[in-house]
Amino acid sequence: MSVGDVVSASSLKKVTEKQTEKDVRDAGLRLIKYRMRSRNELKTRLMQKGFSESVVTNALNWFEELKFIDDVEFAKSFANEKVRNKKIGAMALKSEFFSHHLDEELVERVMNDVYKKMPEEDLIRQHLKKKRLSSLDSLSQKELKKITDFLKRKGFRWDSIRNIYLQQGWL
């Protein structure tokens, strides 16, 4: 094509489609350059930018072929980062996964792997250490409730909390 050429409607449509494909890929690359994303999260973000579902689906397939997005790797990385940095329990991690619309079986498998490496009870101990609490400390009911509520907000189950309390001699 050059300046002054007459362009037919079909060739204009092809050029427009090619440009739209390039635009959606560029937008997707900018998003995954910032951080890893799940397929569904990337789809949602691209759809919010006004791209059609068919163009977004084609781009997502292209990203998967090139291994730019991979839900399994995303789930592993996401879980490891959340547990290592925030030291959250299983209930909180599952809640964090919810917005990414990942396969339930995948989430369970990844969570089991993460908590084998970093058991919930070890994470609870780290929280207690950070709060400078040891088994030598005697705690009032009010202090114990305050710590229990904090650990529950961090997503730990009562049975894990209770085991630590029993080991510390607080129950």
pLDDT string in tens for the chain (171-residue length):
666 677 677 777 787 888 899 999 999 999 999 999 999 999 999 999 999 999 999 999 999 999 999 999 999 999 999 999 999 999 999 999 998 999 999 999 999 999 999 999 999 999 999 988 776 667 788 989 999 999 999 999 999 999 999 988 887
pLDDT at position 9: 76
pLDDT at 114: 97
Kindly state the helix (H) or strand (E) to which residue 99 belongs, with its residue range: none
Q: Is residue 5 part of a domain?
A: no
Note whether 107 and 129 are same-domain residues: no
Q: What is the pLDDT of residue 109?
A: 97
Q: How far apart are CA 170 and CA 86, in angstroms?
A: 25
| Domains identified in the chain, total number | 3
Q: Are residues 76 and 103 in the same domain?
A: yes
Q: What is the pLDDT of residue 12?
A: 73
The b/e string for 29-67 (b: 16+ C-beta within 10 A; e otherwise) is: eebbeeebbbbebbbebbeeeebeeebbebbbeebeeee
**Angle at which helices 90-98 and 71-86 cross, to 10°:** 140
Are residues 89 and 52 part of one domain? no
- Shared-domain flag, residues 52 and 95: no
Range of the domain at 136: 120-168
Compute the distance between CA of residue 157 and CA of residue 148 in angstroms, rounded to an integer: 10
Write down the pTM of the prediction: 0.81
Q: Is residue 40 part of a domain?
A: yes
